[in-house]
Structure 1
Amino acid sequence: MGAKTALLAFADGDIRSALRAATASNQAEAERLVRRVLPGYDVTPAGESSLFETYPPDDIAHVTVLPGVAIVCDQRLIRDRPSELPDHLLEAGAGRRIVMHGMHSVVDWLCFAVWEDGELVRSLSLSPDSGIMENIGEPYEFERPFWDGEHPVEPLFGPGPYPLPFHPLQLGEVALSNLFGFVIEGNPAPTDIDADSIPMHVFRVGDPSGEEQQTREAAREQLMRDMGPVRTYRMGPDGTLQEVSWD
């Protein structure tokens, strides 16, 4: 699994239906939305992409504004605790359904959340290292087989059990299909759309003070220090991964 997402949608109803009926997005409207959800940033048009590119690089936003739904892909809009969504984003989605989906394959992290008319009705955020960071509201039907133990994880590293009852990325693909109507690496449902057919406007969105970039670089340097030396594994005769010594 190598999927990553950073999706925030403002919808009048079912996102899948709106995307299936998608027409061309207007770049000026998309730019206005970027400036509203990321106020104070420098915004410059930077080309085109598609909805399949759900995790733009740093300082880049992918945006589409369609009848019934507007979607922004930007890492800065996704939260470890979705319930802390800033007020200006709730205001941007006033009277609409707001849907967040974040997924990062490097740390097996998943979050998704749904607000109806400004009220948070469901939020889930979890990873094997941090555990369940947020679990608010009644689980959706598509979640229940995971919570009921129907998707256990066989651990690859070490003898211990996987610290969660299911793999976050596996649930993440199912949530993506149910909430947005497409998948990145999972098995698409018959009603799913082709995300690569949905055009997105690309914008370079930078902090004019440079503070955000400096903070991000400092965090990366600290992460490299915390990771320590590189460790290598190989498959052992019993089928488990075993660490290989550099000596």
Structure 2
Amino acid sequence: MHSAVDWLAFAVWKDGRLVRSLSLSPDSGITENIGEPLPFELPYWAGDRPADIVPWPGEEEEPYALPFHPLELGEDALRALCGFVQEGRPEPDDVNADAIRLHGFHVREPNGPDSAGQEAELRTAAAAMDPPRFYTLGPDGALIERPGP
């Protein structure tokens, strides 16, 4: 989901085969709709979950470009597919995503230098660089070098 543009996309594979993929936003419309809708989608496609959009003060109310709000469907997709919601009201059976501990990994070249050696290489490379240069756009759109901050 991308809330700034009301975009939603998700996909489901089963045994290595794509069975459902949906991508939509009010600006682009439905850009991908592969496979049969999943059970949690059905109320949206049936018109039972219409978008409830409140216009900004002073703006004319135009109908929303989609029959439902993508982010609401996205929250239901998260719950149905992953067991939790991001912004919606959690239900008793939802997974507490904040309680799940994730592990991070540092990937490095197996035969490369150790971290101290990498730091030394980085310092050497940075010392060999010219100082940064700063530019601004001129009236004709050309780049003009300017003094640094």
TM (normalized to structure 1)? Answer: 0.39
Aligned partner of 2:83 in structure 1 is: 181
Instruction: State the Cα distance separating 1:150 from its structure 2 match.
Output: 1.2
Partner of 1:124: 22
Equivalent residue letter for 2:103: H
2:45 equivalent among 147, 168, 171: 147
CA–CA distance in structure 1, aligned partners of residues 24 and 62 of structure 2: 19
Equivalent residues of 1:154, 1:161 under 8 A apart: no
- Give the alignment partner of residue 162 of structure 1, picking from 61, 64, 80: 64
Measured against aligned partners, the alpha-carbon deviations of 1:24-68 in whole angstroms (never above 9, x if no partner) come to xxxxxxxxxxxxxxxxxxxxxxxxxxxxxxxxxxxxxxxxxxxxx
Paired with 2:73 and 2:42, the residues of 1 have a C-alpha distance of: 10
Residues 210-235 of structure 1 show CA distances to partners (whole Å, capped at 9, x for unaligned) of: xxxxxxxxxxxxxxxxxxxxxxxxxx
- Determine what percentage of the aligned residue pairs are the same residue: 64
Q: C-alpha root-mean-square deviation of aligned residues, in Å? A: 1.7
The SS at the match of 1:106 is coil
In our comparison, the structure showing a higher alpha carbon Rg is 2
More strand by share: 1
Find the aligned partners of 1:166 and 1:203 in 2 and give their Cα distance: 39
C-alpha distance after superposition, 1:74-132 (max 9, x if no partner): xxxxxxxxxxxxxxxxxxxxxxxxxxxxx110010001110111110000100000100
TM-score by length of structure 2 reads: 0.64
- Give the partner amino acid of 2:76: V
* Inter-partner Cα distance in structure 1 for 2:15 and 2:52: 40
1:197 to 83, 99, 108: 99
Q: How many residues align?
A: 103
* Superposed counterparts of 1:29-178, under 5 Å: 103-157=1-55, 158-178=60-80
> Which residue is equivalent to 1:63?
none
Rounded to whole Å, the distance in 1 between the matches of 2:16 and 2:86 is 28
The residue type equivalent to 2:47 in the other structure is G
3-state SS of the aligned residue for 2:61? coil
Unaligned runs of 5+ in 1: 1-102, 206-247
How many Å separate the matches in 2 of 1:183 and 1:155? 21
Alpha-carbon offset, residue 189 of structure 1: 2.9
Q: Distance in 2 between matches of 1:203 and 1:132?
A: 37
Report the Cα offset of residue 171 of structure 1: 0.5
**CA distance in structure 2 between the aligned counterparts of 1:164 and 1:156, rounded to whole angstroms:** 14
Moved over 6 A (4+): none
In 2, the alpha carbon distance for the partners of 1:174 and 1:203 equals 31
Which structure has the higher relative contact order (CA within 8 Å, separation 6+)? 1
